[in-house]
Amino acid sequence: MELKKYWQPEAETMPREEIRKMQSEKLVKQVRHAYDHVPPYRKKMDEAGVKPEDIHGIEDIRKLPFITKYDLRDNYPDGMLATDVGKAGCVRIQSTSGTTGRRVIAYYTQHDVDLWEDCTARAITAAGCDRNDVCQIAYGYGLFTGGAGLNGGSHKVGCLTVPMSSGNTDRQIQFMQDLGTTLLCCTPSYAAYLGESLKERGIDPASLSLKAGIFGAEPWTEEMRRDIEKSLGIKAYDIFGLTEISGPGVAFECEAQHGMHVNEDHFYAEIVDPDTLEPVPVGEKGELVFTCLDKEAFPLIRYRTRDICVLDPTPCICGRTFIRMAKPMGRSDDMLIIRGVNVFPSQIETVLLNEGYAPNYRIEVDRANNSDTLDIYVELGEEQFGDTVKSVTNAEKKLAGAIKTMLGISPVVHLVAPKSIQRSEGKAVRVVDKRKLID
Ligand code: DLL
């Protein structure tokens, strides 16, 4: 049987005028839904002096106010959940990493899960896979959307789904060998690590059945793509998404490997200037903003992702008509993504203060052998400075443990002499990111 090229061809190859018409109709309904059932959004619209009756089509989206992470934080845990749906109408939550204050809880009805899983099924189909494939999912399962999102799409496509979750590299490799895994889904850094691990064990990638990988959740370069493709013997596809909007599959790469198609029947993408919030001309760089066109439980409108990005409206050789987004080129806030985990420097600062240290620290992030490293330099207090090496080592371990509990990833902590961290006269430069994440 011939390989399916698209998961939902009627949507994925819809003529542009029809996409726009569909988006217009959906937006009108969605704004009404949010105004009637999401009280914080109603308040924002009232403050902006805009009513649902003012929205006649997608061209009116500019009249609508933005939603930011702060709105979600202020309304934690369920203030942005549509009241007509309520918790009883939901079947799932997912959540971002972070402390309670930073955490975002996204709610899903069965319909929301269905459309999300269709998006990941589109990505899996675009990677050349179908029901004959064995899909090994090594994204984290649990609150993180990676595992659950790809798992759902893999089921829809009918792949044999191997829900490994992340870590345990020996077992990952063993399952690849024993089950004949053809599609690997994980973060690009873990894919690179798996490639190196094969080499270390003397396993030739050609002896495996792997043919494709779907990698995302963190920035990665074209250079890294080439490394992964070589070390695993596959074609590596990028996938983009964020918890607030649904999860992985908001946009996905096709065989052209040249930008990710935004699933425009469900999500409307805009690029705005992060300072003026005015839309920038097509093809120019700015902050990516998404509107969920048909989600029921968590219908975010004009959500500021903080990702800096460019949209490409030119036609794609794959035949999909959905617009493409380039790899994100950075962020307009201070969030770092370290080993696939979203990290805010303020979370690290909170731990330092709780553990009795002064906020004199430097965070250094680097990438060695395609894996992120996190080093945190913290000044000892004058009274601790005379302590023995053993007690300092113990204190470093204790602090590293507390930071791991907060972030979910382990740092290397270096306790250094008082006043040895450079003071700044202006804004403190606390983060040094030495990774080259943009080509
Ligand atoms: O990372 C969802 C996801 C899971 C995407 C698995 C792809 C694969 P969050 O944890 O909410 O959700 O983090 C969202 O991660 O705003 C981007 O800054 C970054 N990000 C996600 N995908 C990519 C990518 C998931 N392909 C944040 N390239 C987003 C670069 C990415 N950055």
Mean pLDDT (whole number) for 64-78: 95
Ligand 1 pocket test: which of 69, 190, 307 has the largest number of ligand atoms within 8 Å of its C-beta? 307
Query: 360 C-alpha to center of ligand 1: Å?
Result: 30
Confirm or reject: Cβ of 305 under 6 Å from ligand 1. Answer: yes
Q: Tell which one of 240, 437, 438 to mutate to probe ligand 1, the residue whose CB is within 8 A of the most ligand atoms.
A: 240
- The CA distance from 127 to 157, in Å, is 12
- Whose Cα sits closest to atom 18 in ligand 1? 307
Residue 33 pLDDT exceeds 70: yes
pLDDT at 425: 63
Higher pLDDT, 341 or 296: 296
pLDDT-derived band of residue 340, with 50, 70 and 90 as boundaries?
Answer: confident
Q: Which residues contact 105 (CB under 8 A, 6 or more apart)?
A: 76, 77, 78, 93, 94, 95
Ligand 1: residue of 102, 117, 337 to mutate (most ligand atoms within 8 A of CB) is 337
Q: How many CB atoms lie within 10 A of CB 345?
A: 16
Q: Which residue puts its alpha carbon closest to atom 12 of ligand 1?
A: 242
Angle between helices 188-200 and 222-232 (to 10 degrees): 40
Sign of CA dihedral 154, 155, 156, 158: positive
pTM for the predicted model, two decimal places: 0.91
Q: How far is CA 313 from the centre of its chain?
A: 22
- Kindly report, residue by residue over 373-385, the tens digit of the pLDDT: 999 999 998 888 8
CB distance 243 to ligand 1 below 6 Å: yes
Peptide bond into 219 cis (omega under 30): no
Mean pLDDT, the chain, whole residue set? 94
- Whether the per-residue pLDDT at 99 is higher than 70: the answer is no
CA of 342 to the centre of ligand 1 (A): 9
354-366 pLDDT, tens digit each = 999 988 899 999 9
Q: Can you give the pLDDT at residue 312?
A: 97
Which residue's alpha carbon is nearest to atom 14 within ligand 1?
242
User: How many angstroms is it from 190 CA to the middle of ligand 1?
Assistant: 14
Distances (CA, A) of 286 to 161, 216, 263: 37, 20, 19
How confident is the model over 247-268, as pLDDT tens digits? 999 999 999 999 999 999 999 9
Please work out whether the CB of residue 153 comes within 6 Å of at least one atom of ligand 1: no
* CA of residue 216 to ligand 1 center, whole Å: 6
Q: CA distances (Å), 16 to each of 11, 64, 122, 269, 314, in order?
A: 11, 23, 18, 14, 11
* Among 116, 218, 331, 338, residue to substitute to test ligand 1 (most atoms within 8 Å of Cβ): 218
Q: What's the pLDDT score for residue 377?
A: 97
Asked if 239 and 248 touch (Cβ cutoff 8 Å), the reply is yes
* Model pLDDT for residues 302-339, shown as the tens digit of each residue: 999 999 999 999 999 999 999 999 999 888 888 999 98
Read off the pLDDT of each residue in 160-182 and give the average, rounded to a whole number.
97
The finding on whether 113 has its CB within 6 A of some atom of ligand 1 is no
With tokens 């690997």, the residue in question is 184
38-47: pLDDT as tens digits: 999 999 999 9
